[in-house]
Amino acid sequence: MPDFDIVALGEPLIEFNQTRPGHPEFLQGYGGDTSNAIIAAARQGARCAYLTRVGADVFGEQLMQLWREENVDTTGVMIDPHAHTGLYFVQHGPDGHVFSYMRHGSAASHMNPEDLRHGMVERAAFLHVSGISLAISASACDTVFAAIERARAAGGQVCLDSNLRLRLWPVDRARAILREAMCMADVFLPSMDDMRHFTGHADPAGTLDWIRDAGANGIIVLKLGRDGAVLDDGRQRHFVPGMVVDAIDATGAGDCFAGTLMARRAQGDDWRTAVRYANAAAALSTRGYGAVQPLPTPAQVQAFLQDSHPAG
């Protein structure tokens, strides 16, 4: 049995989240898509570890402290004395949230395949990576592909979240690299919003056809935001509706979905049950400010599933 259910690899960030629209008032928290996902999974009771680099600075120390408190193993986290920990601001406007980043040259962007020498990837049932892990630098991109090779060689499953950030890389490079990675993934988690940039389709069926034709042959869960998700297991497609909540801040909801989904799979749920559960967790994660603080516990998700109504 592997030592970990999930090992995630990517860039953690310090978050400053605006708490009063239109006012310069920000709450300090934590972000970074793969870090959010691994914490979401750990809160659900999965055995988790994270792989990254942080700066030798106060923010790096805070992140290390956070992971320890959240029961995320940090053996594979390196402290880089030559680079800073990245950060971002979230502002809330009429069209949803707007991110402003200060991450160029961050410690995580200096990751390279040598950083995998601890052998953590080989000890996990799932390796979780994302479009952001691939985009932050060429050496981080190489590290992701090296980790994928290691996971596959050790019999682990690879989970890839599309998380497309076009401020990090040009669309043609993003399309080419994500396509390559998606064909190696056992579980691909694209969002409708991301896939619009690649596929030319605005509907889930056309988008899923495009992804299959492009060579993805694992499980695909297409995320539709508050509307839910479509599970494509290679034989059938199932629409799993989202849950209705009064959302305050959707930052990190997709990451919560990813982490919770893997945690529930590791705990033995079938795919449909795991997607329904992850939909509920993601909805709950939008009821507070920040990517990490509102991530739900199992008790919260179970209670919500018992007395809530699907969207639509």
Catalytic residue numbers read 255
Is 33 among the residues that bind ligand KDG (CB under 6 A)? yes
In this structure, are strands 228-232 and 237-241 parallel, antiparallel, or unpaired? antiparallel
The dihedral region occupied by 93, where left means phi > 0, alpha psi between -120 and 50, and beta the remainder, is: beta
Distances (CA, A) of 192 to 55, 112, 166, 175: 34, 30, 15, 15
Cα 70 to Cα 59: distance, rounded to the nearest angstrom? 16
End-to-end CA distance of the chain: 40
Count, residues near ligand KDG per rule CB under 6 A:
14
Q: Does 73 bind ligand KDG (CB under 6 A)?
A: no
Q: What one-character-per-residue DSSP string does 267-308 give?
A: TT--HHHHHHHHHHHHHHTTSSSSSSTTPPPHHHHHHHHHH-
The torsion angles phi and psi of 181, rounded to 5 degrees, stand at -70, -40
The dihedrals phi and psi of 144, each to the nearest 5 degrees, come to -65, -45
Q: Which is nearer to ligand KDG, 133 or 199 (CB)?
A: 133
Asked if 88 is part of the footprint of ligand KDG (rule: CB under 6 A), the reply reads yes
Site for ligand KDG in 170-199 (CB under 6 A): none
x/- map, 245-264, ligand KDG, by CB under 6 A: ------xx-xx---------
Which among 28-36, 62-70, 118-126, 276-284 is the span making contact with ligand KDG, rule CB under 6 A? 28-36
The residue (of 103 and 150) whose beta carbon lies closer to ligand KDG is: 103
Binding segment for ligand KDG (CB under 6 A), chosen from 20-28, 30-38, 207-215, 237-245, is 30-38
19: amino acid identity, one letter: T
Asked if 218 is part of the footprint of ligand KDG (rule: CB under 6 A), the reply reads no
When the beta carbons of 125 and 282 are compared against ligand KDG, the nearer one is 282
Looking at the Cβ atoms of 288 and 310, the one nearer to ligand KDG is 288
Q: How far is the CB of 213 from ligand KDG (least distance, A)?
A: 27
CB of 31 to ligand KDG, least distance (A): 3
Angle (CA) 138-225-181 rounded to 5° is 30
Contacts with ligand KDG by CB under 6 A lie at 13, 31-33, 36, 88, 99, 132, 165, 251-252, 254-255, 291
